[in-house]
Amino acid sequence: MKDRYFLVAGLILLVTLGATLLLYPRLPGTVPVHWNIHGQVDRYGSKWEGLLLIPAVMAGLMLLMAALPWLSPKKYEVNGTRPGYLEMMIVLLVFFAYVHLALLTVDAGRHLNASKAVLGGVCAMFAAVGPVLPRLPRNFYVGVRTPWTLASEQVWQATHRFAAKTFLIGGLAGLVLAFAVRVPWAPFVALGAAGLAPVIHSLVYYKQLERRGEV
**Report field, pTM of the whole predicted structure over 0.95:** no
Q: Is 40 left (phi over 0), alpha (psi -120 to 50) or beta?
A: beta
From the CA atom positions of the chain, what is the Rg in Å?
Answer: 19
Count of the separate structural domains present in the chain: 1
- What does the pLDDT read at residue 75? 84
Average pLDDT, integer, range 185-207: 96
Q: Check: CB of residue 44 under 8 Å from CB of residue 33.
A: yes
Q: Cα torsion at 172, 174, 180, 183 (round to 10°)?
A: 170
Section 24-50 average pLDDT: 70
Listed in order, strand segments (DSSP E) in 65-184 are none
Per-residue pLDDT, 34: 65
User: Model confidence at 42, in pLDDT bands (50, 70, 90)?
Assistant: low
Q: Is the per-residue pLDDT at 46 higher than 80?
A: no
> Torsion-angle region of residue 45: left (phi > 0), alpha (psi -120 to 50) or beta?
beta
Give the range of the structural domain holding residue 27, as residue numbers without chain letter: 2-211
pLDDT in tens, 94-139: 999 999 998 888 777 677 777 788 899 999 999 999 999 999 999 9
